[in-house]
Structures are given as structure tokens and as C-alpha cells.
């Protein structure tokens, strides 16, 4: 849960300067030109006025030197300076500035909105209300020497004028602030410079009012010819960015590597993207075969899920790429696939509805897994500061298309459920992980593509017999609030210190995570949020007043500049108003976790309805379950009264009671200690959340939460309910009693915290099972996107043998084995899991995994790759992958290992147990030992066959002994079992 960047009030400033190197109050390189005023015998002001937007026949300057008298109306006539500019030089005597207005001599005035213009001395420009300093008519491009034509982009900075301060190589610098550049086209300024015999020049840019871009004090080196400078990138021999585009007649390349994979009566088609001189806008997929003949479908991505096809029919596909001009590529090579029998799985958009204990879980950070569509990649405001830009590794890189493309990889590992990070639209400076929700009703477009929407992912996974578990957050939104519930207004002073960060207000801008605010052209985050003027109904204290503190750069900090719980920016009805003081106290359930996480008042009916309505949408899409983030930070009584019933009611309403029974909800109840009860507090222990309430509380949910907390704390740990649902009765399976089940299963935090050693994890896991409603549903993992074992901040690095041992335990002991992406090859072992934007993601446990998945893989069944090529073939050949595939084969074949109760009665051995599952005609009984030897006494007589080796033992006296298989290995003797399952590998043999 604590996966967010550190609390930084000045983060936006640091991020922007790091990202662009622009727009601080930074003079040019000290070795260039000093900024002191040139000595002069008198004060004069040469005033340039921009006339293009006025279209006046004549222009007059009406002025008064500071402390002096005004000229007689209409003032003095200005003379033509150059195209669109007039000028006038006036003597100010001893004055150091002047007040001025302008008019056309016939009663039409520009008096700066009634405020007059306050001008200084030297060269001054007034353009559409903006005062700057430079000579816009400086003739620098008419000589016979070498010339440099420079285009400078202000799309990111929003400057309203631009100057170039330069020095030809070996020559002198211009006088600060340099020469004015001309408007070229929207967002671009231009100047052609004569540089004599020099072949290059040094340059810096400024807005005429002391705000500089000097390439982080290095200045820019610009050659002769045409050069563009945009966001610190210098492009020599560049095309004119303002030139009219020539018609596009170039067709895209043909799509390549077209593959078709059939599962039942669905075919998933994928291919490598075409290239084009501009951009491919869509693909045309032509299908032939079956009774419907030729079918042409337009899609916007490189994956197509074709469902509802005829049984046992061969279909052929070809693909063409089309660009915006309508140019069509040559046709791709053909791809064929033959459907099988009609799918026993439900139709698209319906949860699979099977017992979740059958399905091992593969956990992915979608944005870091595989990049199927680079057009939705985004680095965000921290791209440069984090170091991601240097690695060409934007935080939002992986997407649903990439996950669809690699479903067969996950299936080849043997997983039939995928847990994905939250899909809702996020909003913060570093939000790739998904836990900074902003619009809970909208899927984040940085994850979607045309033809690879979230619904497409769900459908494609279901077509392959795989479930999708969606990570959901009920506890908090991002610091920017929740769209449709409440969004705070931020104080955004656009002064010389902060104007680079706060966009110009754009009422028409709607944040979507993907689109840069178009008015300023620089930010994804702010254009619709801030206001310098105090909003009506404002409740934030001391709106816009300085706090008395400075940022690390020396900038003034203002009240209401960033949302926080104590600022008054959030209404009490919808958001809690405090910081957490005691992480095991009641306030941990009603206060903010972090600056970026605005804590919902989940006891408020409006908030409850907002969240229930949002997650109903994803239930209706057919997801198979929810992983609940930060579940412990909401009172159990609120879960039991409101959210859990709403989930199951919606599933029942939409898909029926059987689907609801198997809709899998598992919560992150963060108890990061080795105690059975988290520091003695039942309210903050994972197993507590698996139970219904035992008494009635007040109707008001906030009051009920306090009552419940006090009631359960007073009862203490010794008076909590217990369960035998996970345990055999002797050797017999018994029907579990789920009547007191709350509806929330849990992540097994005790095993997770102790998986530095498999034996320790096993011992700790068993110790808590009697206080869990049914521990056979516990989600078990070694490490995750938050922590490694023992609350380590690094990914597990215990070694390959230890990993193999951990997996052998997880895949045979009670609970649902879960693997964090890449652990199958010890990906990023020992690396810090999360350091926010202070280091590149490539160096962390959340690094991009796609390089290991390059190539193609097909899997018609779980744990089996029918074919693989490229880097993914190398990945699938790794020893832990082979180990994992066989573990999944064995577990999938033995019901006792999936859904069975367990016992250690009559069992000797360090990690040894017996498991049984009985239902109808199924009676599965297994004896398991991991790593060490074991003896089982008092067991049923009969024939036992080891699923690992095929060894057969006949028991006639109720006793069976097993020699130690060795670390990472195990033995699974099954009564009347199926025999050896799979082939020997590096560990299971």
C-alpha cells in the first residue's frame, strides 16, 4: 500500500526544472554576458509597440517620465520600425522610467486596462499587453556572411515573446537581453542571424523579463543553416516547423508476424505494428472461412479478439495498415487458426465463475509489464527527474494490449488468474502504479488502445480460460480529489516563480492523463484545477497568503497551494481531516496515509454510493474478483454493512448466485509484524476482516465504527471467533461452515512477512489459520510491489534454490499461490522495490519486464508453451520457469492441493502435511513433504503414487515414510493417484 513517492511540497518545481531545464530566474552562463546596465549620459527609453493586432493608421505614445508631467494628448507620434512594429525614443532626463499609454490619434486607446503601462529605460517592447525588453527589429539577417536561422519553441513555457541572446563563435555576445525573435507560427519564434565567418554560435533564450532558458547554464551551441530548439533539444538541418505540410502519399509498411491462436470458438489475432512516415491510424482485418464468408473489420490496435465463431472451422486472416491520409499498406502474410468445440466458459463479459482456489495468480503492474502500444506511453511531470527519460523508459509503458499480447506467456507459466493494478484514471505526478485514483468511473487511457480496451482484455483472458482480478481502492483518491464527487481548487499564483508550473486557466480542459492541456501546451495535470482568485465558497484557510516558508529553491510557498487534510480544502462530509498518528490506532482508519492520498470519509452515504457505483461498472464488465487495496484503513463494520454486500449483490443481480459465490474478493490488511494478532489489536489484524459482525451498532456509520473498535478491543484476542474450515478432522474432509464469512478473504501477511525462509513462513502461516474464517482462500506470496519478506524494501534475493523451495511450499500448502511478475526469473532480485521519482524505474523492483518477453509464444494449455521464439523463449527456458510450470501441472491435477483442508496430526517432518478434498464423486487425498523427510501415521491404507517421481507405495499398516527429496524438491503421494505428472525438471525430479 505504501507505494507512493515521498512527501514533497516543492516537488512540482524540482520536477519541471529537471524535466526541461527551463524557466527559473536564471541568467545566461556567467561567462557569456553580464547583465548590468551599460553606462549612459542620459536616460532614454526606446519604446516599440506592436500594431498588427490593432490595425491603426497611426500610433501615438502618450507618456509621463516618473515624477514628471504627461505629454499633451494624444502624445507623440511613433514611427515605423519594421513590419508590425512602430517605435519612439524619448528622453527621460533624470527619471528611471515612464508611465505610458497608446492611441490611434482619434480617441481609441490602449491604456493597459486602465492601469497604464509602467516602463523602464533602454529598449522596451509592448505587445498585446505584454512588456518585454529587446529590439524586435534588429536586422541580423541581411549580411553576406554565414547565416543561422533559429526556431525556438515556447509551447512548453507559454512565453508570450522570445529573445535570442547570442555570440558567434569567437565573437562577442549581444547586449542582454539579446534580439527579439519574430512570430513564426503557433508556439514557434524565429530569427535569422548573420554570424560573419563563424560556423556556429552560442545562444540562450529569454522572455524579455528576466526568465531564461540557458540549457542549464551550458548555453546552446547552434550551427549555421536552419535549427530548431524545443524542450532543450537542438535539431540541426531541421525542417521549417511552420511550413505547410505536403500531401501524404506514402503508404504504411505491411503488418508482419501475424499470428492467430484459437481457444474453443474464439481466435486472438496479433501482429507487429506497421511503420509509416506519419502514423498508422487503423488496421483492416479481413477474415475468410465459415459460412459467413468474407468479413472486414477496422480496429485501432495490433490485437483483435474474434469471438463467437463456428466450431471446428478453419479461418484465415490478412491485415492491412491504413494511415490518416487513407494510404493502405500491402497485405500481410496469411495467418490461420482452427476453432475447437464450443467453449464451456461463459460468454464475453461474464466472470468465469469457478472456485478461485483452483486458479494460481500472476500479479502484474500493467504499466510495467509489456508495451503493446507505444502511442499511449507517458512519462509525466517526473519523467526527467526520475531518470526515466534518460532510459527511454516512461512510467506508463505497459498497457492492456501488451497484456493481451502476452496472455499466452502467462498461460504457459501455468497461471489461470491475473491480478492487475488499478485501472481507473489516476492523477498525480507519479501515478503509473494506479493507486492515485481520480476518475473512478473511467479507465485510464494510458492503459487502453483501440481494440485493446479493458473490456477487450477481460474478454481475451476469458477466451483463454483465465480470470482477471482487478485491484480496487475504496480508501482514498489522489490529492486531486475524485471527479464526480469533489475536486479541490488549488491556489496557483502565476508569478515569476510559479508561472512555469501553473497553467493558464482553461475552463474547457478535461484531464484524461493522456492529453497535454492545450492552452499552455505543457502540463497533464493542472489546467482545470487552479485559481489565483479565491473561489466562492472557499474553505481553505488563509487562501493565497504566504506560509512564511520557502521552497528549497528559495521560492515563496503559499497556503492552499497543495491539497492536504488540515488545509480546509476538502469538505468534511467527503474526506477525513487528519494525518495518521498511530498506525495501529483507530485514527489509521479515519486519517490520511500520505499527502498524495486524500482519505475518503467512507462512512458517508454519498461517498459510499460514489464508490459502489464506480465498481459496479467493472463488475458488469465481467471481472472475476477484486483485490482490495488498504482494506485495513476502512472499519470492518463499514465493509460488512456497505461495500461487501454491494459487491455480491451486484454480481448476483448481473450473473446469478453461483457467480457471486465464486467472485473472489481478497483484501490487503497490512499487518507487518510476526504476531498472530497485530500488536495485540484485533481491529488491525488480517484475519479479523474475514468475519461478520457479532452485534448491532448504531445506524450512523461513523458512530458504528467507533463502537465496533471499542467493542472488539475490549473483547481482546482471546474472545475472537475461531474456525476449523481449513483443517481436516483426522483424515476426513468436512463441509466448511461459511455462515459467518464476511465476504472478504485476505492476503496472508504473516507468510509474506516470513518468507525469508520457507520453514518460517510455513510455521507462521499455520499459527493464524484457526482465527481466519477459511484459510484455504488465503492469497500467498513471497514479495510484491510494496515489500519483500520481513518488510524489506527490496525484491526477494534469497537465491534460486530458496525460490524453488518457497514455490514448492506455496503450490502445495493451503491457500492460493501468487507470483509477482518476473519472479519466475528472479527479475530485479535485491533491487529496491520503490523509490518514487528519486531514481529510475529501470533500477527498481518495478522495472519494465517487456524486454524479457520480446518475441512470440503460443500456449494451448496451461503450463505448456506450444511454440516460442525470440527473447521470450529464453525466458521460458529458465530453471524457475520449468519448476513453476510443473508445480502448476501438479496442482491443477490434484484437487486436494487446490481446495483441500489440511492436517499435521500424525505427521513428522519440518514442512510436511496431509490434505484432502471431497465433493460428490471426487475424493482427493495427498501426503506432501517439502525439502525434508517425513513419516505419516494413521493414514488410510491403499496405494499411493508420487506425482513427482511416479513412485508407488502400498500402505497396509497406516504408515508411510518418505526420504528427503532435497531443497526445492517435494513429494506428493496421492491415494489412488494419477501417477507421475509432467517431466523431471531442475528441481522436481
Which pLDDT score is estimated for 3?
A: 40
- In the block, residue with C-alpha cell 478453419: 314
Bond preceding residue 954 cis, omega within 30 of 0: no
pLDDT digits (tens, 9 = 90+) for 739-775: 999 999 999 999 999 999 999 999 999 999 999 999 9
Q: How confident is the model at residue 73 (pLDDT cuts 50, 70, 90)?
A: very high
The answer to whether 324 and 252 are in contact (CB under 8 A) is no
Please give the order of strands across the beta sheet that includes 970-975: 901-903, 912-919, 922-930, 970-975, 942-946, 952-955
Q: How confident is the model at residue 343 (pLDDT cuts 50, 70, 90)?
A: low
Give every CB contact of residue 427 below 8 A, 6+ residues apart in sequence: 436, 437, 438, 439, 478, 480, 511, 513, 525
Q: How confident is the model at residue 535 (pLDDT cuts 50, 70, 90)?
A: confident
Which pLDDT score is estimated for 53?
A: 86
874: which strand partners? Answer: none
Q: How confident is the model at residue 388 (pLDDT cuts 50, 70, 90)?
A: very high
pLDDT digits (tens, 9 = 90+) for 183-240: 889 899 999 999 989 999 999 999 988 889 999 888 999 999 999 999 888 999 998 9
Which pLDDT score is estimated for 140?
A: 67
Give every CB contact of residue 677 below 8 A, 6+ residues apart in sequence: 685, 717, 771
CA distance 539 to 637: 31
Cell of residue 948, nine digits: 513427482
Cell of residue 304, nine digits: 483483435
pLDDT digits (tens, 9 = 90+) for 257-274: 898 878 778 787 777 878
Q: Which residues of 808-837 are buried (b: 16+ CB within 10 A; e: fewer)?
A: bbbbbbbbbbbbbbbbbbbbbbebbbbbbb
pLDDT digits (tens, 9 = 90+) for 643-656: 999 999 999 989 99
Cell of residue 964, nine digits: 528427503
CA distance 722 to 880: 37
Which pLDDT score is estimated for 23?
A: 36
Which pLDDT score is estimated for 348?
A: 59
Taking the whole predicted model, whether its pTM rises above 0.85 is answered as no
Entry field: residues in the chain: 989
Highest mean pLDDT among 212-216, 509-513, 977-981: 977-981
Alpha helices in 642-757 (DSSP H): 644-655, 657-661, 701-715, 749-753
Instruction: For residue 483, give the DSSP letter.
Output: T
> Phi/psi of residue 164, each to 5°?
-115, 120
Lowest mean pLDDT among 15-24, 270-279, 595-604, 618-627: 15-24
Angle at 32 between CA 31 and CA 37, to 5 degrees: 110
Residue 843 has pLDDT above 60, yes or no: yes
Which pLDDT score is estimated for 30?
A: 33
pLDDT digits (tens, 9 = 90+) for 868-919: 999 999 999 999 999 999 999 999 999 999 999 999 999 999 999 999 999 9
pLDDT digits (tens, 9 = 90+) for 271-300: 787 889 887 888 899 999 999 899 998 876
> Phi/psi of residue 779, each to 5°?
-90, 125
Residue 524 has pLDDT above 80, yes or no: no
Which pLDDT score is estimated for 540?
A: 92
CA distance 862 to 11: 46
456: enclosing H helix or E strand: helix 454-463
Cell of residue 291, nine digits: 459460412
What is the DSSP pairing of strand 779-780 with strand 816-820?
parallel
3-state DSSP assignment of residue 790:
helix
Q: How confident is the model at residue 12 (pLDDT cuts 50, 70, 90)?
A: very low
305: which strand partners? Answer: 268
Give every CB contact of residue 714 below 8 A, 6+ residues apart in sequence: none
Q: How confident is the model at residue 593 (pLDDT cuts 50, 70, 90)?
A: very high
Instruction: For residue 810, give the DSSP letter.
Output: H
Reference 405, options 364, 435, 433, 445; nearest CA is 364
How many Cβ atoms sit within 10 Å of the Cβ of residue 105? 14
Which pLDDT score is estimated for 495?
A: 83
pLDDT digits (tens, 9 = 90+) for 451-469: 899 999 999 999 999 999 9
Please give the order of strands across the beta sheet that includes 225-230: 182-185, 188-194, 147-153, 225-230, 233-235
CA distance 399 to 615: 20
Which pLDDT score is estimated for 529?
A: 84
Count of CA atoms in the C-beta half-sphere (13 A) of 390: 11
Bond preceding residue 516 cis, omega within 30 of 0: no
Lowest mean pLDDT among 27-36, 221-230, 469-478, 651-660: 27-36
pLDDT digits (tens, 9 = 90+) for 77-109: 999 988 889 999 999 998 989 999 999 999 999
Q: How confident is the model at residue 142 (pLDDT cuts 50, 70, 90)?
A: low
The answer to whether 894 and 972 are in contact (CB under 8 A) is yes
The answer to whether 758 and 678 are in contact (CB under 8 A) is no
Q: Mean pLDDT throughout 676-695?
A: 92
Q: How far is CA 215 from CA 15, 18, 157, 236, 377, in A?
A: 16, 11, 14, 16, 26
Radius of gyration, CA atoms only, the chain: 34
How many Cβ atoms sit within 10 Å of the Cβ of residue 93? 12
Count of CA atoms in the C-beta half-sphere (13 A) of 628: 27
Q: Mean pLDDT throughout 368-390?
A: 94
The answer to whether 827 and 844 are in contact (CB under 8 A) is no
**Exposed / middle / buried, residue 233 (Cβ in 10 Å: 0-12, 13-18, 19+):** exposed
Residue 736 has pLDDT above 80, yes or no: yes
SS (H, E, C) 669-686: CCCCCCCCCHHHCHHHCH
User: In whole angstroms, what separates CA 40 from the centre of its chain?
Assistant: 58
Reference 359, options 946, 916, 899, 988; nearest CA is 899
CA distance 764 to 748: 10
CA distance 463 to 308: 10
Reference 801, options 685, 968, 982, 587; nearest CA is 968
959: enclosing H helix or E strand: strand 959-962
3-state DSSP assignment of residue 921:
coil
Residue 830 has pLDDT above 70, yes or no: yes
Output the average pLDDT for the chain. Answer: 90
Residue 38 has pLDDT above 60, yes or no: no
What are the DSSP E strand ranges found in 556-621?
556-558, 597-599
pLDDT digits (tens, 9 = 90+) for 540-588: 999 999 999 998 778 999 999 989 999 999 999 999 999 998 887 888 8
User: In whole angstroms, what separates CA 879 from the centre of its chain?
Assistant: 31
Alpha helices in 125-220 (DSSP H): none
The answer to whether 386 and 19 are in contact (CB under 8 A) is no
Which pLDDT score is estimated for 27?
A: 42
The answer to whether 812 and 974 are in contact (CB under 8 A) is no
CA distance 64 to 57: 24
SS (H, E, C) 213-273: ECCCCCCEEEECEEEEEECCEEECCCCCCCCCCCCCCCCCCCCEEEEEEEECCEEEEEEEC
Amino acid at each position: 500500500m505504501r507505494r507512493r513517492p515521498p512527501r514533497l511540497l516543492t516537488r512540482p518545481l524540482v520536477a519541471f526544472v529537471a524535466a526541461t531545464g527551463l524557466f527559473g530566474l536564471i541568467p545566461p552562463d556567467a561567462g557569456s554576458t553580464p547583465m548590468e546596465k551599460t553606462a549612459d549620459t542620459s536616460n532614454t527609453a526606446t519604446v516599440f509597440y506592436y500594431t498588427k493586432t490593432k490595425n491603426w493608421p497611426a500610433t501615438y505614445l502618450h507618456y509621463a517620465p516618473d515624477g514628471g508631467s504627461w505629454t499633451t494628448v494624444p502624445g507623440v507620434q511613433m514611427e515605423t520600425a519594421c513590419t508590425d512594429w512602430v517605435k519612439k525614443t524619448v528622453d527621460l532626463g533624470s527619471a528611471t522610467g515612464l508611465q505610458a499609454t497608446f492611441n490611434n490619434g482619434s480617441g481609441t486607446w490602449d491604456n493597459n486596462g486602465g492601469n497604464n503601462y509602467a516602463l523602464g529605460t533602454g529598449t522596451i517592447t509592448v505587445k498585446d499587453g505584454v512588456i518585454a525588453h529587446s529590439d524586435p527589429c534588429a536586422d541580423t539577417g541581411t549580411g553576406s556572411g554565414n547565416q543561422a536561422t533559429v526556431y525556438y519553441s515556447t509551447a512548453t513555457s507559454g512565453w508570450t515573446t522570445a529573445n535570442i541572446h547570442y555570440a558567434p563563435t569567437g565573437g562577442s555576445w549581444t547586449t542582454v537581453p539579446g534580439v527579439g525573435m519574430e512570430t513564426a507560427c503557433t508556439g514557434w519564434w524565429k530569427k535569422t542571424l548573420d554570424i560573419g565567418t563563424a560556423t556556429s554560435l552560442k545562444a540562450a533564450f529569454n522572455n524579455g523579463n528576466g526568465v531564461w532558458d540557458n540549457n542549464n547554464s551550458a548555453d546552446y551551441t547552434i550551427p549555421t543553416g536552419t535549427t530548431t530548439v524545443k524542450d532543450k533539444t537542438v535539431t540541426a538541418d531541421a525542417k521549417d516547423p511552420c511550413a505547410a505540410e505536403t500531401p501524404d502519399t506514402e503508404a504504411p509498411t505491411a503488418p508482419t508476424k501475424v499470428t492467430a491462436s484459437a481457444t474453443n470458438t474464439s481466435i486472438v489475432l496479433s501482429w507487429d505494428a506497421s511503420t509509416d512516415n506519419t502514423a498508422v491510424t487503423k488496421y483492416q482485418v479481413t477474415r475468410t472461412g465459415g459460412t459467413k464468408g468474407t468479413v472486414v473489420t477496422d480496429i485501432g490496435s495490433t490485437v483483435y479478439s474474434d469471438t463467437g465463431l463456428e466450431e471446428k472451422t478453419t479461418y484465415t486472416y490478412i491485415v492491412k495498415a491504413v494511415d490518416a491520409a487513407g494510404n493502405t499498406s500491402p497485405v500481410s502474410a496469411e495467418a490461420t487458426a482452427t476453432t475447437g468445440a464450443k467453449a464451456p466458459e461463459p460468454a464475453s463479459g461474464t466472470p468465469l465463475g469457478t472456485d478461485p482456489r483452483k486458479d494460481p495468480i500472476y500479479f502484474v503492474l500493467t504499466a510495467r509489464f509489456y508495451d503493446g502500444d507505444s502511442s499511449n506511453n507517458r512519462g509525466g511531470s517526473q519523467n526527467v527527474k526520475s531518470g526515466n527519460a534518460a532510459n527511454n523508459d516512461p512510467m506508463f509503458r505497459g498497457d492492456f494490449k501488451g497484456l493481451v499480447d502476452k496472455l499466452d506467456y502467462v498461460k504457459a507459466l501455468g497461471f489461470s488468474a491475473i491480478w492487475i493494478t488499478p485501472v481507473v484514471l489516476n492523477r498525480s505526478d507519479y501515478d503509473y502504479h494506479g493507486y492515485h485514483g481520480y476518475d473512478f468511473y473511467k479507465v485510464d487511457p494510458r492503459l487502453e488502445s483501440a481494440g485493446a480496451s479493458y473490456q477487450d482484455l477481460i474478454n481475451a483472458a476469458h477466451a483463454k480460460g483465465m480470470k482477471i482480478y482487478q485491484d480496487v481502492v475504496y480508501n482514498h483518491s489522489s490529492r486531486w480529489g475524485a471527479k464526480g464527487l469533489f475536486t479541490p481548487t488549488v491556489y496557483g499564483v502565476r508569478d515569476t516563480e510559479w508561472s512555469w508550473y501553473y497553467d493558464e486557466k482553461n475552463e474547457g480542459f478535461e484531464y484524461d492523463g493522456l492529453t497535454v492541456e492545450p492552452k499552455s501546451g505543457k502540463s497533464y495535470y493542472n489546467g482545470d484545477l487552479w485559481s489565483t482568485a479565491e473561489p466562492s465558497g472557499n474553505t481553505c484557510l488563509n487562501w493565497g497568503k504566504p506560509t512564511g516558508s520557502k521552497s528549497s529553491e528559495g521560492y515563496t510557498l503559499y497556503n492552499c497551494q497543495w491539497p492536504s487534510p488540515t488545509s480546509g480544502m476538502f469538505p468534511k462530509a467527503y474526506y477525513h481531516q487528519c494525518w495518521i498518528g498511530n498506525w495501529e490506532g483507530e485514527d489509521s482508519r479515519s486519517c490520511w496515509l500520505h499527502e498524495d492520498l486524500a482519505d475518503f470519509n467512507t462512512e458517508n452515504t454519498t461517498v459510499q454510493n460514489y464508490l459502489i457505483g464506480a465498481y459496479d461498472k467493472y463488475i458488469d464488465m465481467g471481472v472475476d474478483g477484486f483485490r482490495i487495496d488498504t482494506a485495513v484503513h476502512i472499519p470492518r463494520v463499514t465493509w460488512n454493512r456497505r461495500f461487501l454486500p454491494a459487491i455480491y449483490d451486484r454480481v448476483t443481480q448481473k450473473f446469478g448466485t453461483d457467480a457471486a459465490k465464486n467472485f473472489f474478493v481478497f483484501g490487503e490488511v497490512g499487518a507487518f509484524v510476526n504476531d498472530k494478532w497485530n500488536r495485540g489489536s484485533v481491529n488491525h489484524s488480517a484475519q479479523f476482516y474475514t468475519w461478520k459482525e457479532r452485534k448491532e451498532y448504531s445506524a450512523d456509520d461513523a458512530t458504528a465504527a467507533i463502537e465496533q473498535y471499542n467493542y472488539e478491543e475490549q473483547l481482546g484476542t482471546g474472545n475472537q471467533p475461531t474456525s476449523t474450515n481449513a483443517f481436516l478432522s483426522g483424515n476426513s474432509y468436512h463441509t466448511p461452515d461459511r455462515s459467518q464469512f464476511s465476504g472478504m478473504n485476505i492476503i496472508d501477511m504473516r507468510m509474506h512477512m516470513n518468507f525469508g525462509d520457507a520453514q518460517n513462513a510455513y510455521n507462521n502461516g499455520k499459527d493464524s489459520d484457526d482465527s481466519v474464517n477459511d484459510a484455504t482462500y488465503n492469497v500467498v506470496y513471497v514479495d510484491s510491489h510494496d515489500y519483500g519478506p520481513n518488510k524489506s524494501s527490496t525484491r526477494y534475493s534469497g537465491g534460486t534454490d530458496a525460490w524453488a523451495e518457497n514455490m514448492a511450499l506455496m503450490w502445495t500448502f493451503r491457500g492460493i499461490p501468487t507470483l509477482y511478475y518476473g519472479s519466475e526469473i528472479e527479475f530485479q532480485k535485491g533491487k529496491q522495490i520503490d523509490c518514487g521519482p528519486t531514481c529510475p524505474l529501470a533500477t527498481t523492483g518495478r522495472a519494465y519486464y517487456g524486454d524479457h518477453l520480446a518475441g512470440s509464444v503460443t500456449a494451448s494449455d496451461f503450463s505448456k508453451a506450444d511454440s516460442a521464439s525470440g527473447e521470450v523463449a529464453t525466458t521460458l527456458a529458465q530453471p524457475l520457469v520449468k519448476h513453476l510450470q510443473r508445480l502448476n501441472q501438479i496442482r491443477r491435477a490434484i484437487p486436494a492441493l487446490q481446495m483441500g483442508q489440511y492436517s499435521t496430526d500424525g505427521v513428522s517432518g519440518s514442512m510436511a502435511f496431509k490434505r484432502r478434498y471431497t465433493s460428490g464423486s471426487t475424493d482427493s487425498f495427498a501426503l506432501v513433504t517439502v525439502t525434508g523427510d517425513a513419516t505419516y501415521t494413521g493414514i488410510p491404507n491403499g496405494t499411493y503414487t508420487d506425482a513427482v517421481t511416479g513412485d508407488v507405495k502400498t500402505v497396509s499398516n497406516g504408515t508411510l515414510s518418505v526420504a528427503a527429496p532435497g531443497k526445492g524438491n517435494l513429494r506428493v503421494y496421492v491415494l489412488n493417484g494419477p501417477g507421475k505428472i509432467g517431466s523431471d525438471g531442475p528441481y522436481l525430479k
